[in-house]
Amino acid sequence: MSGRKKVLLKVIILGDSGVGKTSLMNQYVNKKFSNQYKATIGADFLTKEVLVDDRIVTMQIWDTAGQERFQSLGVAFYRGADCCVLVFDVSAPNTFKSLDSWRDEFLIQASPRDPENFPFVVLGNKVDLDNRAVSSKRAQQWCQSKNNIPYYETSAKEAINVEQAFQTIAKNALAQESDVSLYNDFPDQIKLTGEQKPSTSQDQCAC
């Protein structure tokens, strides 16, 4: 339909090395999985067109290196993100404990207009493995404590919940993008800087 408006959404996937960020992205975009682990250097992205609420959405999904020094990618990399996906490995408790620092670091680097309501989605990956160490309840409680972040348990290898998770990611990212566009349509009515201070003469009594 010609009436559909195309939208580009920037989605960033964060999490420790080896949790399956690249595998999840490849499973969603290319329907492929590889048992060979190859660490991501720096950052890479894939794109996929999806239909969300009668709008054609191009998702630009960024996969990042899982090192702690990911800030070196630069603030510009994180700015403009419409959704952030936090990934941990359900068989590796330390990767779950890292979610707090990944979330905080993203908010610092990306500086979203409304950090409290910025859309995150959490994926507990590798549910196909037998040696689970992080319970669903524990993960759900963490998500609830962070303003009810949507949580999905996934397997990039078995393609479990990958499609459903990214559909939610696309919807939430689209809502964020629409919200920001609406906000940007309004002119800045008041801008206060160090040089521009509000006049208080009208507020003061003249007597």
CA distance 49 to 27: 15
64 neighbors 14 (Cβ within 8 angstroms): yes
- The pLDDT value given to residue 64: 74
What pLDDT digit, counting tens, does each position of 95-131 carry?
A: 999 999 999 989 998 999 999 999 999 999 999 999 9
- Tokens, residue 16: 């420790």
pTM of the full predicted structure?
0.80
Q: What percent of the chain has pLDDT over 90?
A: 57
pLDDT above 90 (res 42): no
User: Domains plus CATH for the chain?
Assistant: 7-184 (3.40.50.300)
Residues 6+ apart with CB under 8 A from 113: 180, 183
CA distance 49 to 76: 24
CA distance 123 to 105: 18
More confident of the two residues 43 and 83? 83
What pLDDT digit, counting tens, does each position of 127-139 carry?
A: 999 999 999 999 9
